[in-house]
Amino acid sequence: MLALARFLQGASAGVVWTIGLAIVIETVGQENLGKTMGTVFSFVSVAGLLSPLLGGSLYASVGYKGVFGVGIGLVAIDFILRVLMIEKKVAARYEDSSPSHAGIDGTTEDTEQTPLLPNTSTAHKRYRLGKPANCITRALPILLIFRDPGLVTAMWIGFMQAFLLGAFDATIPLVASEQFGFNSLKAGLLFLPLGGADLLLGPVFGWCVDHYGTRLFSVLGFTLLVPTLALLRLTTDGSVTDKLDNPRHIALYAGLLAANGVGLAITNSPAIVESGNIVEKYWKANEDVFEQAPYAQLYGITNTMFCAGLTVGPLFAGHLREKIGYGNMNAVLAGACALTAIQAAFTMGRKEVDLEDSGSED
């Protein structure tokens, strides 16, 4: 019964998350997507990191029914908010058809995108797709876009985000218990610097992505994570006895977790902004292939990659920690971040001149 409940929970969350992201991009537009998604993913990261702490505290104080009673209450509030929400395209029906309201339904917003997508430009031709050749691509034409290396990198970055969150979630409580002698409550408090930095800085870096592009902050975020992850091995140096209730060691670990939180905050929005930009360009150049903008399909795949990271991250990190130790585990994660930064430098946020130089198979 528990497995069935978890399956239904995941299925419902996947549907709501996918549609929610599609509604977000329809509402705020590509020009504000970085700031918005930086905020969204900050809350997602914080909720994912802190909910085990809150759930454990509730379970210890009020038991199993109390935990799920709170959960049901939150779902009820969420349901009411969704019922009260008015989609932008629905609101457009009640707006005046004056020039000031032109483009509210997303059909005439070319005033901001036209310079990037002129119909006669090389860039437009670069994004042309052939007709779907089989039943799979006819049903899911978005699969044709995955030949674009920028989109593949964006998906990988989303996977790495969730992978790192899962790794932290699985290993921080164990380190807190073994190295500092913390109980479950104190161990949960160590998530505060990690999640707090992500929550506070996510919207800021999202705004920066909107204004300065996805490549810079993809590279910056994963480059920052390389030393901050590697330095976590300092918590395993020396004897455990020296660290028990030692404020300096605890402060060092909390500070390094906060630094990792900054790195995660930087990586929150570049992937979703990059993938949205790429899909929009392909859609505008291939309206004969796509019946409508395939944002829901895009974010469905994005959600799949994110959930895959959350699934693999704890398993992989836990296995490495047992086999090679906590410090070496973080060194491996740092290496993966370094490779991701290099990949992002070559494929994310490519300018139109770069695309022209790289050529096209169309």
Helix (H, G, I), strand (E, B) or coil at 107: coil
- Alpha helix ranges (H) inside the chain: 2-28, 33-62, 64-84, 88-91, 110-113, 122-126, 135-139, 149-180, 184-189, 191-212, 214-230, 240-243, 247-266, 270-285, 295-324, 326-347, 352-358
Whole-structure pTM value: 0.76
In a domain, residue 109? The reply is no
Q: Across residues 100-120, what is the average pLDDT?
A: 45
Q: Tell me, yes or no, whether 131 lies in a domain.
A: no
Give me the helix-helix angle, 2-28 and 295-324, nearest 10°. 130
pLDDT tens digit sequence for 116-146:
444 444 556 778 877 777 777 777 888 888 8
Lowest mean pLDDT among 35-49, 151-165, 302-316: 35-49
Task: Indicate if the pLDDT at residue 255 is higher than 70.
Answer: yes
Residue 104: pLDDT band (50, 70, 90) is very low
Statement: residue 112 has pLDDT above 60:
no
On whether residue 273 sits in a domain, the answer given is yes
Taking 50 as the threshold, does the pLDDT of residue 241 lie above it? Answer: no
- Give me the CATH number covering residue 62: 1.20.1250.20
Looking at residues 140-163, what average pLDDT do you find?
Answer: 89
So what's the pLDDT on residue 360? 46
Place 109 in a pLDDT band, splitting at 50, 70 and 90. very low
On the question of pLDDT at 43 being above 90, the answer is no
Q: Tokens standing for 242?
A: 């020296």
The boundaries of the domain holding residue 302 are 12-92+141-349
Q: Could you tell me if residue 184 is inside a domain? A: yes
**% of the chain with per-residue pLDDT over 70:** 83
Would 123 be classed as within a structural domain? no
Over residues 334-355, the mean pLDDT reads 83
In a domain, 114, yes or no: no
Find all residues with CB under 8 Å of 302, minimum gap 6, and list them: 21, 155, 158, 271, 272, 275
Percentage of the chain modeled with pLDDT above 90: 19
Can you give the pLDDT at residue 345? 93
In a domain, 339, yes or no: yes
Rounded CA separation 25/38 (Å): 13
Sign for the CA dihedral angle at 68, 73, 76, 81 comes to negative
Within a domain: 125: no
Q: Exposed (0-12), middle (13-18) or buried (19+): which is 275, by Cβ within 10 Å?
A: buried
Which tens digits make up the pLDDT trace of 61-96? Answer: 788 788 888 888 988 998 898 888 887 777 777 765
- Total count of domains within the chain: 1
